[in-house]
Amino acid sequence: MKYAKITGWGNYVPPLLMTNDDMSQIVDTNDEWIFSRSGIRQRHYAHVSTGKMAWLACERALAAAGVSAEDVDLIILGSTSPEEICPNTASYIKNELGAKKAAAFDLNSACTSWFYGVNVATDMIRAGSISKALVVGSERISLAMDWQKRESCFLFGDGAGAVLLEASDERAGLVSSHMSCVPDSRECLHLPSWGMSPLHYTDDIFISLNFEGQEIFKSAVKGMSDSIANVLEREGLTPDDIDLFIPHQANIRIIQALAKRLNFSIDKVVVRIDEYANTSAASIPLALCDALTDGTIKPGMTILTATFGAGLTCGAGIIKWGDRVSPVNISDENIPEFEGTVFDLMADSFTHYGIDAKHLLTKA
């Protein structure tokens, strides 16, 4: 039986920071209020597109694996914020990489998109239809912030994370998974007009996130818990057999609730929401890359992951790590930094929502 071993990993984190103190200049809030409710201290905002961030994360994943782009069979972009609906953004990534023979498609299941993409690529490798796949989660959610909504505008950040999966006889990679969708919970996390229905023929598009926090919390914890129970039972494992837990980084309270249900010590949980906020489809691969960089992931570890997103899509999986935790090579590719402050970057967005951008620029 073939497995889809993770042999490469890479990320891109935009250098511009929007701290909680910065956020307090835009809306009526403060660091203590945000951190106590979410665990977030800051978020990174991108000055380049979803596709550009994804390209660099993929370049770094290929270098880490020591694999040429020309050998890649498939590229899957998991994202809620692709550059266009047609053509797909994955085709842009393919062309930028020079992955000439690769098929390419986007997958959108909101925050679960990267995990669902890993499921799809893993099953294709097991079926023998491909042997190498890049799966990248990339998001520029800062474009969709409604600065009039104090309860949700601070939650999201930008970034990208990617893995390379390769066919292997070694039992490694995503060895068991479960995907689900909580019924009748679709409207509690919703971006109306983030698409083609209704069609808009002017530039006057008002994007505003519908966010029902209590309902999301309840549905997310139950949905992820059910998926976790499914994969643990399928693998004949108990929580004691798990070496590391890498959950979707949406809210520290959700992470803590899951850890409590599993009787996990927080030392076994990778928490990066303080650094990145909720980066949607990029959140798990970003946390995974950090855990490799800082030495948290060890050879042979049994890793549990769980995720949820708008829909409400849910899922969980068991990842068996291989014997290599260091990159084969380091890519020299990079993205030039933005010349200005985060307030310069977001000036048009602030103005759209009636915020005095000039005042903010003066303060910066």
DSSP H/E element including 303: strand 302-309
Whole-angstrom CA distances from 105 to 31, 55, 64, 159 are 39, 14, 23, 19
The position carrying tokens 């909720």 is: 278
Are 11 and 289 in contact by the 8 Å Cβ rule? The answer is yes
Active-site annotation holds for 359: no
Query: Which of 248, 251, 289, 314 does the annotation list as catalytic?
Result: 248
What values do phi and psi take at 161, rounded to 5? -145, 140
Active-site annotation holds for 178: no
Query: Which of 111, 188, 289, 314 does the annotation list as catalytic?
Result: 111
Are 284 and 114 in contact by the 8 Å Cβ rule? The answer is yes
**What is the 3-state composition of the chain as percent helix, strand, coil, each rounded to the nearest 5?**
40, 25, 40
| Amino acid occupying residue 102 | A
Are 156 and 249 in contact by the 8 Å Cβ rule? The answer is no
Gap between the terminal Cα atoms of the chain: 57
CA distance linking residue 46 with residue 164, whole number of Å: 23
Query: Which of 11, 119, 251, 278 does the annotation list as catalytic?
Result: 278
Catalytic residue ranges: 111, 248, 278
